[in-house]
Structure 1
Amino acid sequence: MQQASTLILTDIKKESLKEKFFRFIAILLIIIFPVMLVLCFRVVKQYKRAVVLRFGRVRADSPAGPGIIWVIPCTDTVILIDLRTQSFSLPPQEVLTKDSVTVSVDAVVYFHIVKPLNCFLNVQSHGRATELIAVAILRNILGQYTLSDLLTNRGAISCTAKKEIEKVTIEWGIEIERVEIKNILLPYELQKAMASEAEGTRLAKAKIIEAEGEIKTAENLREASRIMMENPQTILVII
């Protein structure tokens, strides 16, 4: 009996290196599986959309969201696109008007993304690209107007600029909401000349009004003298 028992014990072998490795992998998978499961879910906020790339290609359900979306770690890349209205201020631009006057004009542009896929695939940096094209188009449009038109027709010029900018940005999935011209700065010498011209115009109008008053006074005196000549008794009454 003791000899049989000894033979059975000798048949037991130690765990091999391969078995240890697979056991370690199994334990590791059991530990990290819950963490990996959590990483497979992403939350997309209401005002955003997610463009998902799988092995570098756009996934069929893109843009995804809002809500919870399913992704595979290490294979899927998620890019979030903000759909809210964005704005930027154009730096002051030196513009030569149609009547050869140099003015400095600054404006603000409001836009939002309507097609996240076009915005991601067709342009590298949609904000910067929109700003650059807005500067170029606004300079071209302002050069087609005289100084008087710039000062009096800001609304119409802003609408024209909006339509021209949107013709380019619509290919990027961007819609221009409005373009507002904030300030039109004139050179100091031109401001002085315009102030002198306005003062001269006011003085001329004042003199015209004064002359018209004198004319009306003379007409009233002439009418009174005519009445006196036609009715001599009025002179006696006055005396």
Structure 2
Amino acid sequence: MFSRSGYQALPLGDFDRFQQSSIGLYGTQKGGFSFGSKQDPLGPAGNTADSSQGWLSWICHGIITSLVFLLMVVTFPISGWFALKIVPTYERMIIFRLGRIRAPQGPGVVLLLPFIDHWQRVDLRTRAFNVPPCKLTSKDGAVISMGADVQFRVWDPVLSVMMVKDLIAATRMTAQNAMTKTLVKKSLREIQVEKLRIGEQLLLEINDMTKSWGLEVDRVELSMEAVLQPPRENLVGPLATVPPVPGLEGLDGTIQQLAAHFFNNTLALAASGTGTPEAADSMETVNEVEPPTAPLLTATGSARRKPSMDELLSAVEPVLSEALVAQVGASYQVNIALPSGARSTYFIDLSSGSGRAGHGMPEGSPDVILEVAEKDLQDLFLGDLRPLSAYVSGRLQVKGDLHLALKLEELIKAMKQRR
């Protein structure tokens, strides 16, 4: 039965001849496997045998496909329930017919042949997952617990099925390895003040490794859980372990270090009591042009009172503008779960005009419906919780486009700038 020893390289069929129609960040891709013009070491005889075997495979493939199609036509009233599948716009269907891959099918109605077609759905929408916090040692000897939130999408459904078995697990492991490899080369101070820059660097590194899987990472957001051990050599006092100054996250790391150093010295003078009486006095700046809005924070010593829903609503209305509507361009319905068990509904319309916000349901159908607890919503608007982190952890439920839901962060940034 076997005329010679060893294995023969069988043709892969459709996958060799299939040209990807999906175009993403990395352009058009061809099939991942190609034998090219490499000569068969067995010589002309081996090529003739492989060619005859390929023709025999195609003939058998055609005969079986024709018989199954004829059987489906004869039993169509019944087989139609099993052979016709509806694929929505945000999905593609990958079909293997007798082991040979076909072009992505959908959206719309897709015909499947019973018994010989094996299919798999691929979701093209933006999704997110979290990298669990892991302990690592920075360059200066500090031990920290670091995690990340990753937002991604599939741009080539065929590669996502052919190249890796579990796409999310493989991407999570790749992101964790890249994060660990990058952070161990940086000090604790660099990690704290250059978190955004490190996230952009990780985004490029992860995309370089996952582009052959048909996956594109859109966003990487680092989250530091805790500093388990301070640096071994703390030469600059409290500056090495201070977090970034709120409101200055987008500035250069050197500017943040100077600002943190200035604030630490001010706090040290106030705590030691060596400052002048004028330094101990508090100063309040009052805007005499615009009427005062409801304060988001009421500080008494180190305590902080979280605002009520009415105070949040009164703080949202002044920041609504045409520029914010141009950035977001969506309407939101927010269903809030109160501690008493009741539910309250608010709307934020940033789709037209200067935007509106208020109680009740929005006019028309909202683009995104958000479900969140009252405490988590307060943390979101105070900046203690990021929308992507809330979604990944399950504290924020999103019905609709996740990309539009994350645009709500532009409103939160505008509120921070106004405070």
TM-score by length of 1: 0.67
User: How large is the RMSD of aligned CA atoms in angstroms?
Assistant: 3.2
Query: In structure 2, how many angstroms separate the alpha carbons of the residues matched to 1:54 and 1:86?
Result: 29
State the match for 1:223 in structure 2: none
Could you report, residue by residue, the CA deviation over 1:89-141 in whole angstroms, capped at 9, with x for unpaired residues?
A: 11111111111111111111111100000000011111110001111010011
State the match for 2:125 in structure 1: 84
Task: Note the residue ranges of structure 1 that are not aligned, 5 or more in a row.
Answer: 1-28, 214-239
Query: In structure 2, how many angstroms separate the alpha carbons of the residues matched to 1:51 and 1:106?
Result: 33
Deviation of 1:75 after TM superposition, in Å, equals 1.1
- Given candidates 114, 117, 120, the residue that maps to 2:158 is 117
Q: Does 1:104 align with 2:139?
A: no
- Given candidates 98, 108, 112, the residue that maps to 1:55 is 98
Could you report, residue by residue, the CA deviation over 1:33-70 in whole angstroms, capped at 9, with x for unpaired residues?
A: 411133221111111000011001112xx211000011
Letter of the aligned partner of 1:68 in structure 2? V
Letter of the aligned partner of 2:83 in structure 1? C
Kindly tell me: are residues 204 and 81 of structure 1, through their superposed partners in 2, closer, same or farther at Cα, counting changes over 3 Å?
A: same
Q: Which has the larger share of helix? A: 1
Whether the 8 Å contact between 1:101 and 1:147 is mirrored in structure 2 is yes
Query: In structure 1, how many angstroms separate the alpha carbons of the residues matched to 2:185 and 2:209?
Result: 20
Task: Note the residue ranges of structure 2 that are not aligned, 5 or more in a row.
Answer: 1-71, 232-236, 243-260, 280-419
Identity %: 26
Deviation of 1:206 after TM superposition, in Å, equals 7.6
Deviation of 1:30 after TM superposition, in Å, equals 10
- 1:187 match: secondary structure: strand
- Given candidates 50, 69, 94, the residue that maps to 2:110 is 69
- 1:72 match: secondary structure: coil
State the match for 2:205 in structure 1: 164
Q: Does 1:176 align with 2:217?
A: yes
Deviation of 1:187 after TM superposition, in Å, equals 2.3
- Given candidates 57, 66, 78, the residue that maps to 1:35 is 78
Letter of the aligned partner of 2:85 in structure 1? R
TM-score by length of 2: 0.39
Letter of the aligned partner of 2:80 in structure 1? L
Letter of the aligned partner of 1:111 in structure 2? F
- 2:268 match: secondary structure: helix
Q: Does 1:134 align with 2:168?
A: no
Q: Which has the larger radius of gyration?
A: 1
Query: In structure 1, how many angstroms separate the alpha carbons of the residues matched to 2:169 and 2:126?
Result: 15
Letter of the aligned partner of 1:173 in structure 2? G
Answer 1 or 2: higher relative contact order, Cα 8 Å, separation at least 6: 1
